[in-house]
Amino acid sequence: MNYNIAVVPGDGIGPEVVGEAIRVLNAVGKKYGHTFNYNTVLAGGAAIDEYGECLPASTVQACKESDAVLLGAVGGPKWDHVPGDQRPERALLGLRKALGLYANLRPAMIFEELADASPLKPSILDGGLDILIVRELTGGIYFGDHVTETDDNGTVTAYDIERYSDYEIQRIARTAFEMASKRQGRVTSVDKANVLDSSRLWRKTVADMSSEYDNITLDNMYVDNASMQLIRDPKHFDVIVTSNMFGDILSDEASQITGSIGMLPSASLADGNFGMYEPVHGSAPDIAGTNQANPIATILSVAMMLRYTFNLGTEADAIENAVKQFLRDGYRTGDIATSGEAVCGTVETGEKIASYIA
Ligand code: IPM
Ligand code: MG
């Protein structure tokens, strides 16, 4: 089969980690007889430099015409002076909206070989950790009105609107229930229903939806409590479903609990099979161009692409097993190395993982 992938390398370490993910994808293609075609386009700081805007229409068009999008990371200090609504990060929000990517899957799991990396006590993590955060990605406060205004007395006021409609909550709840039914069957819906109307609608809508899923246990948690329980008792969680902003915050917290944010992939899905795949980490401008970045999060992101967009489960497993083999053989990138392990650069890591697939 032929698959067309739009590639947005982005800024900082983005191009380096994307390059290794493509190397691994090509190894998969060779082994299993698929052809992956890549159409590289610009977004973020790279697009500001080239076209004067962070998300050119041609980039959106190329992504829409593709079967899936692979993205590195955007942003960096070079564009700190750019006004808020034109910053590289806006390209991400723009792509999510334009492509209808409302369901963001962010797994936070601990690799057996890296159990020591977590900042939490072994007694709390006993037996590992495997949480899936399902974050709503195209609604809520990030996409509500943003207003800054000055009144006649010179007082400046700014506000942002958190807004959810029932259909937006229904479709993300459905994603969470479907995901949970392939896992441990538990969904925790996180909101702030003791204060916010939008959260009360969220809670009611998720509860209504749950009646369609007999096999799922649903519980609700306020976001402040959830942020505490993630540290106190992370094993409570199987699937967490939550709004755009709460998901943004909790997914950073959850990723840090695993101790290795350089290992975590993500998928942003639209209705149907279309999706955009990117590592959870950012553009790490401090180490860009030094061959030190960990490409594994991006490599695991293409495994998610194979699984969710192309329905190639065996091929996705092959990538995940190759990553585990790399770790089992004692190789590490700098960010996850403790003492006595062979530290590999970005390129060497990609080459080794690709060779395990071959
Ligand atoms: C993320 C990031 C983005 C977000 C930023 C860069 C706009 O933090 O993907 O979590 O807030 O969604
Ligand atoms: Mg974030």
133: three-class secondary structure by DSSP: strand
Please report the pLDDT score of residue 115 as a whole number.
Answer: 85
> Per-residue pLDDT for 117 more than 90?
no
Residues that are catalytic? 142, 192, 224, 248, 252
Provide the pLDDT for residue 97. Answer: 96
**C-beta 93 within 6 A of ligand 1:** yes
- For ligand 1, the distance from its centroid to the CA atom of residue 123, given in whole angstroms, is 32
Residue 97 CA, chain-centre distance (Å), reads 15
Joined together, the tokens standing for residue 216 give 């799922």
**Rounded mean pLDDT of 20-32?**
98
Q: Is the pLDDT of residue 85 over 90?
A: no
Determine which residue's CA is closest to atom 5 belonging to ligand 1: 89
Distance separating alpha carbons of residues 350 and 169, to the nearest angstrom: 38
* Nearest atom, ligand 1, residue 142 CA: 11
Per-residue pLDDT of 176-224, as tens digits, reads 999 999 999 999 999 999 999 999 999 999 999 999 999 999 999 999 9
**How many Å lie between the centroid of ligand 1 and the Cα of residue 37?**
28
249 lines ligand 1 (CB under 6 A): no
Q: How many CB atoms lie within 10 A of CB 58?
A: 12
Angle made by CA atoms 68, 189, 139, in degrees to the nearest 5 = 50
248 lines ligand 1 (CB under 6 A): yes
Beta carbon of 89 within 6 Å of any ligand 1 atom: yes
Q: What CA–CA distance (Å, rounded) separates 112 from 116? A: 9
